[in-house]
Every structure is written in C-alpha cells, then in structure tokens.
Amino acid sequence: MAEKKNNPRLFAAIDVGSFELCLKIFEISPKGIRQIDHIRHRLALGTDSYATRKISLAKMEELFRILQEFKDIMKQYHVRDYRAYGTSALRETDNTEILLDQIRNRSGIDLEILSNSEQRFLDYKAIAAFGNTFDAIIAKPTAIVDIGGGSIQLSLFDKGALVITQSLKLGVLRLHERLQNMKPRSTQIEALMDEMIDGQLSVFKKMYLKDREIKNLIIMDDYLSDRFKTAVPGVGDDRIATADAFLEFADGVMGKGSEEVADALEISEESVPLLKISAGIMKRVARSFGADALWVPGAALCDGIAYEYAEQNKLMSASRDFEADILACAATISRRYMGSRKRAEALENIALAIFDGMKRVHGMGERQRLILRLSATLHDCGKFINMTNVGECSHAIIMNTEMIGLSHLEREILACVVKFNHEAFEYFEDLSAHSDINEEAYLTIAKLTAILRIANALDKSHRQKIKDIRVSLKEDKLTIDVDAGADLLFEQERFASRAAFFEEVYGLRPVIRRSSSSS
Amino acid sequence: MINMDFTNTKYYTNRELSWVRFNERVLSEAKDKEIELFERLKFLSITASNLDEFFMVRVASLKDMVHAGYTKKDIAGLKPEGQLELLYPVLHDFVKDQYLTYHKLAAECSKQGLKMVERHEDMNAEEAEYADRYFADSVYPVLTPMAVDSSRPFPLIKNKSLNICALLAKKGKDPKKDKNLVFAAVQVPSVLPRLVQLPSKEGRRVIRLEEVIERNIDKLFLNYDLVSASPFQIMRNADLPIEEEEAEDLLKEIEKQIKRRQWGEVIRLETEKGIDKRLLKILKQELAINEEDIYEIDGPLDLTFLMKIYGLDGFEKFKHRSPEPCAVPRLPAGCDVFAAIREGDILLHHPYQSFTPVVEFIKQAASDPDVLAIKQTLYRVSGNSPIVRALAEAAENGKQVSVLVELKARFDEENNIGWARMLEKSGCHVIYGLVGLKTHCKIALVVRREEDGIRRYVHLGTGNYNDATARLYTDMGLLTCAEPVGEDATAVFNMLSGYSEPLQWNRLSLAPLWLKKRLLRLIKRETQAAKAGRQSGIKAKMNSLCDPDVIAALYEASAAGVQIDLLVRGICSLKTGIPGVSDNIRVYSIVGNYLEHSRIFIFENDCNPEVYLASADWMPRNLERRVEIMFPIEDAVLKETVIHILTEQFKDTAKKHVLMPDGSYKKKRVSKENRFSCQISFEQEAADLLEKPDQLKDSRRFIPMEKI
C-alpha cells in the first residue's frame, strides 16, 4: 500500500547502547506512538571501550552484522525514516569518527553519537511521553534516576519543571568492571558498591539537594525495569512501588545467589550481576534521598527518539514544553551563580524582539532562538567567580555545567555568545583553533552575539528602563523603537559602540528611536 | 495433613512400560470385533510401525545408556539396565499377542474373500507358475545375493531391511556331511511391492514377496544346493545424538547422520519361528546380538505390510469411511480470510473441520499486496505441501518470508532438507532450527499494512502445518488478529531469529523458558483454591504425561481436593488411585480412527475457567528441550466451544480406556446402541454447524424474529 498522507508513519529507532543493541519499530499517527516491534541483541560494547577506549574487531563485526539485520527488518516494515544513535560505549572510544564511518560503509546505517546531555534529554522525553502519569508524579518533588552503562544521571524537578541535572560516572557496566578488577567475595560486593557510590552521591546531595525534599523517584534502567512489575511486590499496572516495598525487594535481591535471582525474576543468569548493581544504585539513591515512592515506567532511549521524531515532524501534538525545562535549568544555574533575574529577563525581552523582528534577514530558527534566550539568562554567571573577567568565567561555567537538552555543540555556541558579549569577538580561525566550532556554528555565534550585544547595550544601565520595543526593517536599516519610561542617554552612547559589530555581521545599521507611550 | 512426598518414585510409572501399554490399547482396537475388518488390520499395522520406532529410539537409547555406564534413575527409580529388564518380557509378550491377533484377522480375511497365502508351499501349481514368472521378470534383476566365505566377509545388513538368509552346500556334496556349509543372504528389495497378487478365480489371493524369493532362491546360488532358508529383519540404533556444538553447519551434519544411521548397533533381530538353528547361530554371532533381543516370529515379519492390504481396492465395506472435513462456517470457500479474522477470533477443529483455511491464510497472504511479511515455523510438512509452495510464492512476490524449518523432526530430515533448500532458493529466509532445541511450536504470523496501521494476523495450532495429517489427527487451531497475540508472535519470531527475549509476554507462554513455570503456577492456583474452599478443577488433554514436576504438582492438587480429569492418549507416568496422593485424579485414553493429538488445558480458576491450547505435552522434552507455545482462548464463545469439545471426549464410551490403579487400562463394555464415540459425534457437529451456522453466535443473545 502506498503511503497516504494520513496513514500512520513507520519510524525506526536504533540504540547502540553499552551492553545491548536495540531496534524499535514505531507507528506514529496523531493518535500517538505505537510500538510495533522491539528487537534486542546483547552486545557489551561498553566493557571494551570503558577499559581500553577501543572496541575489539570481533565486537565490531558483530555490530555490523546486527545493524545490517536491523536494516533488513526496517525494510520489511517499509520504514520511512529512522534515527540511529550510539551512546557512551561509542562516545568513549578514541576513534569514534573512524568507527562511525566503518558502520556506515559496512551496514549502511547512519549512526550518530549522542552527547550525554542529548541522550539524557531523549531518555527524559521517553519518560515525559507518559503524559498524565508523568505530570502526576512530578507534581510532587521528584528526581529522575537514569541509570546507564557508563554513567547515571540525576535530575531534579521543582514545581513541575526540571531544574538541575548532573551526571555521575557510576554506570552499571563501569561499576561492574571496577568490581571485577577488585575480585571481591560475594559478601563484600555490596559494601564495595556503597563505597563507590556514596562519595559522589553525598556531594550531589550537599550541592543540589540541600533542604529540598524528594518524594518520588523516576527510575530508568535497562536491567531491572523489565521485571519491575512482576518482581516487586505490590506493583500494579501503574508500575509504582512504595520505597519500603522496593527496598525490601532490593535487599532480597542483593542477598541472593545468581541462580536464585535468575529463577525468581525469570531472567538469564548472566544478566544477574548487572541487574544487582542497578538495583543497588536504586537502593542507595532511594535511601539517601529519602523518597516515598519509585516509578519505573519502563521507558527506553528508543521511545524518546520516536517521541522527538514525532515532535519534530509535527506528527502529533507534544505533551510537554521541553524548552521550558531547558530554560528552567538555565535559570537555576543563573541563580546558583547569583545572576540577576530581572536584568536577564529584560535582556531576553529586548534580544527576542530584535531576533523576531529581523527573522527575514538572519535566517535562524527555533533552536537558535532558544540559545539566545539561554545566553540572556546566563549572560553574567561568570561574575560569581571574577567580576573583571566575566566573559572567560561565564564561558568556563557554561562549558562545565550540564544542561539537559543541549548538544555539545549547542552548549559551545551558547558559551561563546555569552563570552563575546563581554569580550572581543574571535574570528573563525582563532576560534576553531581551540574548539569544535565549525563554520555553521561560528556564523550562529556571530549572529547571536551581535543581537545580544545591542540588547545588552539597550539595557546597559541595568535598570530595565525599556518597557516596549518594536523592531522594523527597512532597506539597510534596522529601526528599533523603544518605549522607555526614562531617558536613554546612557544606553544610546553604548549602543553606538556596539552597532559596529552588528553592522559587520548583518550588513545593517541599527538605529534606536525613542517613542514614549506616555507622551 | 501430613506432609506427603509427592516425588517418591513409587508413585510413578516407567515411561517405556507406559508406552507399551499404549501400544496394547492400539492392539486392542485391532482385536475389537465391533470395528471394520480392514480398520483392524490397519491398527495392527500401526502397532508394528509404532514398535519399530520404539525400538529404534527408546530401546536403542536405553542400550546406549547401559554402554555408556549411565546410571541415572528414571522417574520410577529404575536405572537403564533395570528398565530394559522390565521391558524384555513385556515386549516379547506383546509381539506374541500381535501375532495371535494377526492369525485371527488373517482367518477372518480369508472368510471375507481375501486369502493371504502364508507360505510359498501353499500356492497351487498355477499360482506357483505365476510367481516364478514374476520372479524371473521383475525380482531377479534387482537382487544382490551375497555369500560369505573366507574371501568375502559378512555383508552389511541395512537397518530395517527385510532379508533372506540361506545355508548352502557345495553342489554334489551331502549337506549332512559337508562341514563347510556356506552362509548367504539376499535383501528383499524395498523397491518392489511387498505383496504379490496372485491370479485367482475365486476371491483375492496375495503372497508376500519374500516367499516368492525364497521359493526361487536356488536360482541365485547356482553352484550350491540349498540346505535351509529363512527371512530375517534387523533393527539398528537410530537415535544418534547430533553434536550441535561442534557442527559447523547443522545442515551438513544432519545429512551425514542420515547416512551413518543405517549402520548403528543391532538392537533387535526378528526371525521366523523354526529357523534352522545353524542359521540363527551365525546371525547371532555375526550381528553380535543378545538372546533377549531375538524375536522368533510366528508369522510374517514386519506387519506393516498390512497397510498395503488395507490399500487393496474392492474391500470398501470393510473399511471405515470418514466423512470429508467440513468447511468452517466463518471461512467459506473464496472468502477474504483476513476480513473474516478481523470480525473476531476463529477456532478450527481438525479433522472435523477442514485445514484448507490455514493453507488459504498463507496463500492469500502470499499474493496480497498489503502483506509485508510472513513468518512461520514448519515441523513436519506433507510432500508437495501447498503451504511450502505458498511461502515460496510469497518470497517471489517480494514479501519478507522467514521460515523456521525444524530439521531435527525425527526420521523426517531427508524430506525436510529438500524443501528447505527450495524455500531458500525462492528467496525465503530459512532458519534451520536452533542449536540444542527442537522447535515444535506451530505458529504463523502475517504482517499486513492497513489503512489504520500495521495489523498482525496469527495462526496458532496444536498440530503441524501438514495438510495430509490434518485429515487424520485431531487438532485445534486459532486464527486471530488480537494485538497482544500479534505482539507476542512477533517476539516469538525475534527470539527464533536469535534476538533477546521480549521484555514481557502478553498472552503466549513459551517453552523452554516460561511454559513449565506457568503450568505449575496454574496447577498451584487450583491447589490453593481447593485449600481455601473455592471452586477448583483441572481438565486436560495431551498425548503424553511424564514430567515429574508436573505430576508432583498434580498429586499435590489432588491431595488438596482438586478434581482432575486427564485424557492422555499415550505415555502416562502418573498413577491413579493412590490414597492421599492421586485419589482425585482420573486418567483416560482415547484411541480411535483419528489420532488424538490436540492439547487442551482447562483450569477452573474459581468459576472463571481459563482455557489453553498448546503444542506441548507435559513431558520434560516438551517443557525443557523444545520451543513450544501455549496460548489462551479468550473469546467467550470460543472458550465455551473448547470446553464443550473436551467435555464431550470424557463422555466417550466407544474408544475411551480408563487407567486403573494397577497401571492397566480397561475399556468399559457398553452395548452397541449405548456406545458414544466423540469422534463420530464431532463429525456430526461439524456438519450441523455448517447447516445451522447460527449456533456459532452467542447463544446468550436473544434473536428477535423479523417476520411472522
């Protein structure tokens, strides 16, 4: 049957994970996303790359073969689009680019590497796709514990918005490798694990949790999630367990031999050690955060990939505004470094007015608009470290702070825009010499910097004088009409000095015109 | 209640012994005077082929175990040696019984105008002349006589081949004084029909080929005088284990095994009663066979030739004529199978209902432009199977066709390899079985892309995708497009392709990983219900029951008060009537014209019965070493239908045997007019259903009359 416009669209998501390859086939329609097929193949790429930063040839061959098979399956379903992502196992190799090229040539699959924050964002989307259940859970203070092979990601919600996210290198496979090197007796394992986890967990708690109360934990893992409903007593279709029931179950699992656990949970014996570590992590976090309940929705990266694809292609209406989460995260960071909220808001308003008013010229889209907003929010975070070197320090803070939902490159763009708001602009040759910035990113940086700079100039007195702003474009002039309660002498002086860079970037002369609504 | 040890070996019957009891039940059909004469011949023939397989597989493997020094005890606490000792007298008695029956039947045939001439000496001159001419024209050219002397070793005697051995003396020498008698053997050619019809004016007369050869054997050894000649047959060990771990290519390995299989150890020697002692001595010595493995037969060797007698035309009134399978009301000829399935699940009851819809299901999928993929397991298929042809056609039409072909289906490998190659050539993705596991489940999945998305159609069955046996075996099947089943079916094929297990199963239970646990849980639930005073009960039908864990669970349930009714056609290691252990368990066995083959399990579940069909028996091999599927029947009407079908079978008074506490089986004597045969009743029901399809609909619904 030829695909008609309203027919559900077939989409495939491939996750090349650290211990498993996974292909999911989805059918996406306005009614929602329906999973048609789920194919898994166990392949522990992570055990190679975490230890040696390389992947053995035998495993690569197996990867090629399975991806080739995945491709055949996609063909069988007449899949229209697919996204294939690799996560930490491939990310943490020294020759990632070479591997990707081999994969493309040998299996015909275009594989991309997700940065940790992109991966976690997709995981988060997979969870958020549960809609009402998710909303009900995060109505109370909630933490997401996303347990991966290489690292775990802890994210905190406050009043329904995601505010903090932090990755800890405590992934299941990584801990397993470390434990194996120590060759402990089975009775020592739990104590060793506690030691490895507790240090990092207590720092996280001290830094971010402070006196926040966490009521709910949302758990994502590839090990226990599958069995959660059947294994933990009292868990119903909602897949929610009380902390007490879970802790009792987890204590039981940790104390039992592999064979017994495999038998009780109906899993293979070889997957028991990883499951135990994952359960151990959940246990530590649940105890340490003092949560009341755990929700284990059984969501996986592939679900998030499908959700994002559906969202991007407008195949269904999104259930959540994820940009708001990114902005809320940035706001939390700004607050941590004592940034001024009012000033940031004013800056954002002006910058957005300019951005929106000159859409025709700059050709930038939603994503760049978001970065501009983030740059306004974080424009002065570096002053927390040193007031005379705000640009450099802001750049360092942004580059070293996790912001869920931004790719590595986007984060770099953001850091540069904030930096050049304060410091001399670096041209491509200089910039690309010490960063991953490519030409396209460079242009984005230049364009956003130009906008942020004149916005900054317009609010230079930091007194938020401007109430309303209108931007109009005529020939070679960008006219900015501002409705200001107070006079703008100070701003106009700054503006002239900033306009030169704007002119250089856009070939437009910005002109400021005061129109007082009060007159 | 005292804690009983339900696993005590004294509560269990040895499975081989129970198998012989089963063959005795088949033999009892051959003895049953109420049954048509030729049907009785057929049953006798079946006992013979059953016994052959039993020797080749079971006896052979017990002997292997003895050789290997394997001493693990069986379910009844017997070591392999002990089991063989138990079996020898039972088997010898059984064979005696077979031939007593044979002679009775032969006499009866004679009365009805069919004379089986037993010995060539019994032919009249005219017949003898005909036989000699037949020998010269057709038999002699294909014979390969082999004599044994110092330069020629004892010939290789092929497994299951019928041979004539002879003792010869050099021409001119007095055989009584000749100390150098020569042993010779000739194989009765399997390419020629075993039966030779003799020209006859009154009635029909037939003689067996070996008698014709024996009469003319002097023509084979011209320089010798015949001292003595006698037919014999040997059976060799056939159940050679296949070394899967080591086999680079499973397919090649199996091909090799087939060739090797003919030369296994000799485990049975059948000779004619009264064979020359010197001949027997030579055979014994050369074949290295023990006394207890020698069967001196009072009658013709290899009774499977009776199947050929059955096939003679002109005796129709002595045969049972089964009606043609009826059409399935929901699936009339020419209908759109997929549209019909979309209207609701469809249950198929073979052979009362036709197997054609299943073939049609695959055929229509093959040419349907909306079908994306067809996936199917094939265990034993008929020669020139229409399903195999449809699958090949589908692949040629560009559909993704995956077929799991089970090469390890006993004795069928040669056949399977041929058409598996053919499927591969036409573009199907063929999986040649799984290492270490036999794929016994019967499942077919059709993935179809429809207006509102992907829809999956699934056929699940208790019997093989074999249009020939579907007319002879009672089996059940389900056609459904229920999403949870479709999802599971997809997962089954993912697993069969080597991918990891799914995160969860919606409806299906798979062996070897989940099915047994599920069964034990279902039994346990009944036990708990009985203990709590709620409604409980188990009704189940299967081919064999010998899994010790399942039996122990059933004993526990019985002890708790669960009423358990079982229909076990073949082997049953469970003992009935043990006080405090199995007093609530009744076991029956139906041996009828159709081979009872369906597996139906019904659990009372506190007045909310759960009904399952399965490809698996309750045997360790099914539950632990095979891929099997148990699936629920959930549609309320179909559930009632299955419950009705099983209940009817317990009511049978014509073919039902009851397992007695002493391990024997008894058939209740019922006057002819009161006899109830469920198989005949089902034939009628299937026909009625076609005439009154309304019965299909929910009987709880009132149907307002439109017109008066």
B106-115 confidence digits (pLDDT tens): 999 999 999 9
Residues in B closer than 8 angstroms to A10, CB to CB, are 454
Inter-chain CB proximity B514 and A1 less than 8 Å: no
Residue B152, beta-bridge partner list = B149
Inter-chain CB proximity B449 and A39 less than 8 Å: no
Residues in B closer than 8 angstroms to A34, CB to CB, are 453
Distance from CA of residue B523 to its chain's centroid? Answer: 27
In whole angstroms, what is the distance from residue A106 CA to residue B149 CA? 66
Residues in A closer than 8 angstroms to B372, CB to CB, are 76-78
Starting at the edge strand found earlier in the chain, the sheet holding A142-147 runs: A161-168, A152-158, A142-147, A216-220, A293-295, A240-242
A59 neighbors A86 (Cβ within 8 angstroms): no
Q: Which amino acid is at A387?
A: M
Digit-coded pLDDT (tens) for B304-341: 999 999 998 888 899 988 899 999 999 998 899 999 99
In whole angstroms, what is the distance from residue A140 CA to residue B159 CA? 77
With 70 as the cut, is the pLDDT of residue B401 above it?
yes
Q: What is the mean pLDDT of residues A495-519?
A: 76
Digit-coded pLDDT (tens) for A357-389: 888 888 898 899 999 999 999 998 998 988 888
With 90 as the cut, is the pLDDT of residue A257 above it?
no
Ordered alpha helix ranges (H), B216-276:
250-261
Sign of the four-CA dihedral B485, B487, B489, B492: negative
**SS3 for B138?**
helix
Residues in Cβ contact with B188 at an 8 Å cutoff, skipping those fewer than 6 apart: B161, B162, B163, B164, B194, B209, B210, B213, B231
Starting at the edge strand found earlier in the chain, the sheet holding B195-198 runs: B114-117, B204-208, B195-198
Topology given in CATH for the domain delimited by B510-696: Endonuclease; Chain A (3.30.870)
Residues in Cβ contact with B536 at an 8 Å cutoff, skipping those fewer than 6 apart: B526, B527, B529, B530, B557, B560, B561, B562, B563, B604, B606
Q: Which amino acid is at B215?
A: R
Inter-chain CB proximity A37 and B494 less than 8 Å: yes
Q: What is the mean pLDDT of residues A58-83?
A: 93
Q: What is the mean pLDDT of residues B142-156?
A: 81
What is residue A177's predicted lDDT score, i.e. its pLDDT? Answer: 85
User: CATH homologous superfamily for B140-298?
Assistant: Polyphosphate kinase middle domain (3.30.1840.10)
What is residue B261's predicted lDDT score, i.e. its pLDDT? Answer: 46
In chain B, where the domains are located = 1-118+300-320, 140-298, 337-507, 510-696
- Residue A125 DSSP class: H
Q: Which of A36, A229, A266 sits opposite B454 (nearest CB)?
A: A36
With 90 as the cut, is the pLDDT of residue A397 above it?
yes
In whole angstroms, what is the distance from residue A373 CA to residue A381 CA? 14
Residue A1 — pLDDT band, cuts 50, 70, 90?
A: very low
Residue B572, beta-bridge partner list = B545
Ordered alpha helix ranges (H), B117-225:
125-134, 209-215
Does residue A472 lie within any of the structural domains?
A: no
Inter-chain CB proximity A226 and B504 less than 8 Å: yes
Inter-chain CB proximity A10 and B454 less than 8 Å: yes
Residue B410 — pLDDT band, cuts 50, 70, 90?
A: low
Nearest to A483 by CA among A514, A461, A462: A514
Does residue A54 share a domain with residue A143? Answer: no
In whole angstroms, what is the distance from residue A249 CA to residue A266 CA? 15
Q: Which amino acid is at A260?
A: E
A209 neighbors A257 (Cβ within 8 angstroms): no
Digit-coded pLDDT (tens) for A309-333: 998 888 877 777 888 888 988 998 9
Determine the Cα angle at A425 with ends A421 and A428, to 5°: 135
* C-alpha distance from A42 to closest chain B C-alpha (Å): 7
Domain boundary among A442, A462, A482: A462
Q: Which helix or strand (DSSP H or E) is residue B650 part of?
A: helix B636-650
- pTM reported for the whole predicted model: 0.84
Inter-chain CB proximity A78 and B513 less than 8 Å: no
Determine the Cα angle at B245 with ends B243 and B246, to 5°: 70
Residues in B closer than 8 angstroms to A226, CB to CB, are 503-504
Distance from CA of residue A286 to its chain's centroid? Answer: 23
Does residue A222 lie within any of the structural domains?
A: yes
**SS3 for B245?**
coil
B189 neighbors B143 (Cβ within 8 angstroms): yes
Residues in B closer than 8 angstroms to A39, CB to CB, are 494, 499
Residue B513 touches partner A, C-beta closer than 8 Å: yes
Does residue A334 share a domain with residue A202? Answer: no
What is residue A431's predicted lDDT score, i.e. its pLDDT? Answer: 84
What is residue B242's predicted lDDT score, i.e. its pLDDT? Answer: 44
With 70 as the cut, is the pLDDT of residue B383 above it?
no
Does residue A492 lie within any of the structural domains?
A: no
Report the range of poorest mean pLDDT among A423-427, B162-166, B400-404, B534-538: A423-427
Residues in A closer than 8 angstroms to B369, CB to CB, are 1
Inter-chain CB proximity A7 and B513 less than 8 Å: no
**What are phi and psi for residue A457, nearest 5 degrees?**
-65, -40
| Total structural domains within chain A | 3
In whole angstroms, what is the distance from residue A392 CA to residue A389 CA? 6
List, as ranges, residues 5-64 from A with C-beta within 8 Å of B. Answer: 7-8, 10, 20, 27, 29, 34, 36-42
Choice among B349, B440, B459, B597 that is catalytic: B440
Digit-coded pLDDT (tens) for B652-701: 999 999 999 999 999 888 888 888 999 999 999 999 988 875 544 444 55
Give me the interface pTM, i.e. the ipTM: 0.78
Digit-coded pLDDT (tens) for B256-268: 555 554 457 888 9
With 70 as the cut, is the pLDDT of residue B707 above it?
no
Does residue A275 lie within any of the structural domains?
A: yes
Same fold, B1-118+300-320 and B140-298: no
In whole angstroms, what is the distance from residue A232 CA to residue A249 CA? 6
What is residue A2's predicted lDDT score, i.e. its pLDDT? Answer: 47
**Of all residues in chain A, what percent are helix, strand and coil, respectively (each to 5)?**
55, 20, 30
List, as ranges, residues 344-373 from B with C-beta within 8 Å of A. Answer: 369-370, 372-373
- Active-site annotation holds for B349: no
Q: Which helix or strand (DSSP H or E) is residue B98 part of?
A: helix B80-111
Q: For residue A281, give the CATH number of its domain.
A: 3.30.420.150
Q: Which amino acid is at A340?
A: S
* Side-chain half-sphere CA neighbours of A288 within 13 A: 22
Q: For residue A420, give the CATH number of its domain.
A: 1.10.3210.10
Does residue A237 share a domain with residue A175? Answer: yes
What is residue A363's predicted lDDT score, i.e. its pLDDT? Answer: 85
Inter-chain CB proximity B499 and A40 less than 8 Å: yes
Q: What is the mean pLDDT of residues B384-399?
A: 91
Domain boundary among A90, A115, A140: A115
Residues in chain A: 519
* C-alpha distance from A17 to closest chain B C-alpha (Å): 14
Q: Which of B428, B451, B499 to mutate to test the interface with A (most CBs of A within 10 A)?
A: B499
Residues in A closer than 8 angstroms to B400, CB to CB, are 72, 75-76
Nearest to B421 by CA among B433, B410, B434, B405: B405
Nearest to A412 by CA among A381, A430, A434: A434
Residues in B closer than 8 angstroms to A27, CB to CB, are 453-454
* Side-chain half-sphere CA neighbours of A104 within 13 A: 10
Nearest CA in chain A to B493: A39
Does residue A2 lie within any of the structural domains?
A: no
Domain boundary among A415, A432, A462: A462
With 70 as the cut, is the pLDDT of residue B1 above it?
no
With 60 as the cut, is the pLDDT of residue B189 above it?
yes
In whole angstroms, what is the distance from residue B573 CA to residue B556 CA? 15
Nearest CA in chain A to B375: A76
Nearest CA in chain A to B503: A226
Residues in Cβ contact with B55 at an 8 Å cutoff, skipping those fewer than 6 apart: B235, B267, B268
Residue A510, token pair as written in the block: 């910005």
**What are phi and psi for residue B84, nearest 5 degrees?**
-65, -40
What is residue B262's predicted lDDT score, i.e. its pLDDT? Answer: 44
Does residue A177 share a domain with residue A284? Answer: yes
A357 neighbors A470 (Cβ within 8 angstroms): yes
Nearest to B625 by CA among B244, B258, B249: B244
Q: For residue A42, give the CATH number of its domain.
A: 3.30.420.40
Residue B447 touches partner A, C-beta closer than 8 Å: yes
Instruction: State the average pLDDT for chain B.
Output: 88
B59 neighbors B267 (Cβ within 8 angstroms): yes
Digit-coded pLDDT (tens) for B609-663: 999 999 999 998 888 888 999 999 999 999 999 999 999 999 999 999 999 999 9
Answer yes or no: CATH 3.40.605.10 is held by domain B337-507: no
Residues in A closer than 8 angstroms to B338, CB to CB, are none
Residues in chain B: 708
In whole angstroms, what is the distance from residue B374 CA to residue B391 CA? 8
- Secondary structure, 3-state, A144-195: EEEECCCCEEEEEEECCEEEEEEEECCCHHHHHHHHHHHCCCCCCHHHHHHH
Residue B676 touches partner A, C-beta closer than 8 Å: no
Does residue A208 lie within any of the structural domains?
A: yes
Does residue A488 lie within any of the structural domains?
A: no
Instruction: Tell how strand B564-568 and strand B585-590 pair up.
Output: parallel
Inter-chain CB proximity A38 and B517 less than 8 Å: no
Inter-chain CB proximity B453 and A226 less than 8 Å: no
B514 neighbors B506 (Cβ within 8 angstroms): no
**What are phi and psi for residue B390, nearest 5 degrees?**
-65, -40
Q: What is the mean pLDDT of residues B434-445?
A: 88
Does residue A387 share a domain with residue A281? Answer: no
Burial (CB < 10 A; 0-12, 13-18, 19+), residue B654, is: buried
In whole angstroms, what is the distance from residue B41 CA to residue B36 CA? 9
Instruction: State the average pLDDT for chain A.
Output: 86
In whole angstroms, what is the distance from residue A29 CA to residue A4 CA? 12
Q: What is the mean pLDDT of residues B454-476?
A: 92
For residue A345, the enclosing domain spans 322-462
In whole angstroms, what is the distance from residue B268 CA to residue B291 CA? 10
Residue B499 touches partner A, C-beta closer than 8 Å: yes
Residues in Cβ contact with B615 at an 8 Å cutoff, skipping those fewer than 6 apart: B440, B441, B442, B461, B462, B599, B628, B629, B630
Determine the Cα angle at B298 with ends B296 and B302, to 5°: 80
A179 neighbors A193 (Cβ within 8 angstroms): yes
Region B1-118+300-320: CATH code: 1.20.58.310
Inter-chain CB proximity B453 and A8 less than 8 Å: yes
Q: Which of A7, A29, A76 sits opposite B372 (nearest CB)?
A: A76
Nearest to A124 by CA among A374, A305, A328, A371: A305
